[in-house]
Amino acid sequence: MISNRTLYTHTGRKVHFYDDLVRGKVVTVNLAYTRCVGSCPAGFAKLATLQSMLGDAPGKDMFMYTLTLDPEHDTPRVLREARKEYGAGPGWTFLTGSYDAIDEVRRSLGMFDPDPKVDADRSQHSGLLVLGNDPMGRWCRVPLGFKTEQIFDAVRRVRLPASEW
């Protein structure tokens, strides 16, 4: 069950994660935070490339979400700046919220480590890109460490009917 907790977008809009952002949509979800000096910058760059490879699909046929792990710092205003920096288009929404809500949402997507010590270490946070096609009930995930072409292919496989693979 994907969490329906309340989050806030980079524009400060209050949203319910499942009902407003996932239900009936094709989505990608990743975790990041703007102060991250580990895997995040490369991940942001890769998602920016992915966004351009997807052409006009993001915001129309599908939606990209980046959920911060550092809500204390990553206010909507900070996220707006980060979006600018990474050239995020209208189909790529950055999300923040309470620690508790963020924790519940990421856990409901399986983005946690079963070892509590590893899970508590933000520098080892999940580097997965969760891919979902809610109308078809089709979900998978890929490492953001994949080549962008591989991520693009995986997104394509999640979006398209099986016969069009």
Are the C-beta atoms of residues 76 and 12 closer than 8 Å to each other?
Answer: yes
CB of 30 to other proteins, least distance (A): 11
Contact flag: residue 122 with other proteins (CB under 8 A): no
Nearest one of 112, 153, 72 to 142, comparing CA atoms: 153
For the window 124-153, what string marks contact with other proteins as x by the rule CB under 8 A? xxxxx------xxxxxxxxxxxxx--x---
Pairing mode, strands 128-133 and 138-143: antiparallel
Q: Is 56 or 113 the residue whose CB approaches other proteins more closely?
A: 113
Euclidean distance between CA atoms 101 and 115, whole angstroms: 20
Contact flag: residue 28 with other proteins (CB under 8 A): no
Euclidean distance between CA atoms 74 and 125, whole angstroms: 16
Binding positions for other proteins, rule: CB under 8 A: 1-2, 39, 107-115, 118, 124-128, 135-147, 150, 154, 157, 161-163, 165
